Amino acid sequence: MATTTAAVTLSSDLMQDTLSVSTETTLMKAGTTADGLDQVRMGYNKVPTGTSFDLLDATAAGADKASKVLISNDTTDETYYITIVIDAKEIGRLYAGDWMFIPWNQDDATHDLEVTAFGGTNTISWWCWHEGETLPTSAD
Amino acid sequence: MATTCSVTVTSDILAGFGSVTKSMTLTKAGTTNDITETTGYSRRKLASASKVDLITMANELVEPLDNTAGKLYIKNVGNSQGVIDKSVGVKVLINSVEVGVLHGGDWLMMPVTVVDGEDIEVQPATDDVVILEYAMYYEEG
């Protein structure tokens, strides 16, 4: 079985007593307890302003699967950001230096994960650990 | 007063990949100033397959500043009786649009708009007890 783990450490002193949370999970295929995710896509992109881009295109084969997505905005200018949109719903903004890690359900073919850059060209790196992808048949 | 978060994903799917680590300090939008508001670390017990609000943006005691650099952490900790079932999960949605499913033990860290009405909703797959732990960080409006 392929093994992929995701560990997080969250620390905050906003409250009087410092919060520190550390946890780790193994990324499994949907509905299983013994079969790990076994496919991955990744990329490093320059995202210019003015256009919304499909970073990850939802497919019927991905519906109700256990995809996990990590996106990092590697831009250094703190005023730059990208918006994250799923199925036309803005999830939020990743400013320079921010990252996100989410489960992504390709609920239907419109459930694309889109990014749009603001402030200037943003540089992002991303990974999608998933299952169930079959390469499309060549049309020519 | 800083809030920091780091992730490390380690995988043997792709030979030679190893791992990736990313770290961030949660800051206010467009600045290097630390983010200042939080829901605190909270715990929510669910025992029904109904969709409910985990966070209702309009009900926050400190009004969030819309469309800034809010972040949300959620973890599915299982039933708190030692059962963490990775074969079932809890859907996480924003105003009825599904983001994905947190299976037992899974966690997420994602940006949020904190706009009123763009509530964080959750829906377990079954009526079995499941506990979510969560914290949201945001700017004051």
- How many structural domains comprise chain B? 1
DSSP B39-79: --SEEEEE-SSS-EEEE-GGG-SSPBPSSS-EEEEEEEEET
Residue of chain A nearest B125, judged by CA positions: A31
Domain assignment of residue B49, yes or no? yes
Domain assignment of residue B53, yes or no? yes
**B110 to A92: CB separation less than 8 angstroms, yes or no:** yes
Across the interface, which of A14, A28, A102 has its CB nearest the CB of B103? A28
What is the percent of chain A with per-residue pLDDT over 70, rounded to a whole number? 100
**B7 to A105: CB separation less than 8 angstroms, yes or no:** no
Domain assignment of residue B8, yes or no? no
Boundaries of every domain in chain A: 27-130
Domain assignment of residue B10, yes or no? no
Task: Give the pLDDT of residue A118.
Answer: 98
Instruction: In whole angstroms, give the CA distance from residue A91 to residue B113.
Output: 6
| Domain housing B96 | 29-138
Domain assignment of residue B65, yes or no? yes
CA distance to partner chain B, nearest, from residue A7 (Å): 5
What is the value of pTM for the model shown? 0.96
Instruction: In whole angstroms, give the CA distance from residue A1 to residue A65.
Output: 17
Task: Give the pLDDT of residue A16.
Answer: 82
Mean pLDDT over all residues of chain A? 93
Residue ranges of chain B with pLDDT lower than 70?
none
The complex's ipTM? 0.96
**B3 to A89: CB separation less than 8 angstroms, yes or no:** no
**Contact present, A127 and A70 (Cβ < 8 Å):** yes
Task: Give the pLDDT of residue A13.
Answer: 92
Instruction: In whole angstroms, give the CA distance from residue B42 to residue A84.
Output: 25
Task: Give the pLDDT of residue B83.
Answer: 85
CA-to-CA dists, residue A35 to A55, A102, A131, A132, angstroms: 26, 19, 10, 12
Whether A110 has its CB under 8 Å from any CB of chain B: the answer is: no
Q: Look at B136 and A31; give whichever has higher pLDDT.
A: B136
CA-to-CA dists, residue A88 to A34, B10, B62, B67, angstroms: 34, 31, 28, 16
Q: What does CATH list as the number for A27-130?
A: 2.60.120.10
Tell me: the pLDDT tens digits for A116-125? Answer: 999 999 999 9
CA-to-CA dists, residue B140 to B28, B29, B35, B64, B71, angstroms: 10, 11, 9, 5, 13
Domain assignment of residue B21, yes or no? no
Whether A65 has its CB under 8 Å from any CB of chain B: the answer is: no
Whether A56 has its CB under 8 Å from any CB of chain B: the answer is: no
DSSP chain A: ---EEEEEEEEE-SSSSPEEEEEEEE-B-TT-SS-B--EEEEEEEEE-BT-EEEEE---GGGTT--EEEEEEE----TT-EEEEEETTEEEEEEETT-EEEEEE---STT--EEEEEESS-EEEEEEEEES---PPPP--
Task: Give the pLDDT of residue B12.
Answer: 95
**B32 to A78: CB separation less than 8 angstroms, yes or no:** yes
Per-residue pLDDT for A12 more than 90? yes
Domain assignment of residue B78, yes or no? yes
C-alpha R_g of chain A:
17
Task: Give the pLDDT of residue A22.
Answer: 97
How many residues comprise chain B? 141
Instruction: In whole angstroms, give the CA distance from residue A121 to residue A113.
Output: 18
Per-residue pLDDT for A84 more than 90? yes
Instruction: In whole angstroms, give the CA distance from residue B133 to residue A28.
Output: 20
Report the CATH number at residue B80. Answer: 2.60.120.770
Neighbours of A88 (CB within 10 A): 11
Task: Give the pLDDT of residue B108.
Answer: 98
Tell me: the pLDDT tens digits for A38-81? Answer: 999 999 999 999 999 999 999 888 888 899 999 999 999 999 99
CA distance to partner chain A, nearest, from residue B95 (Å): 9
CA distance to partner chain A, nearest, from residue B88 (Å): 6
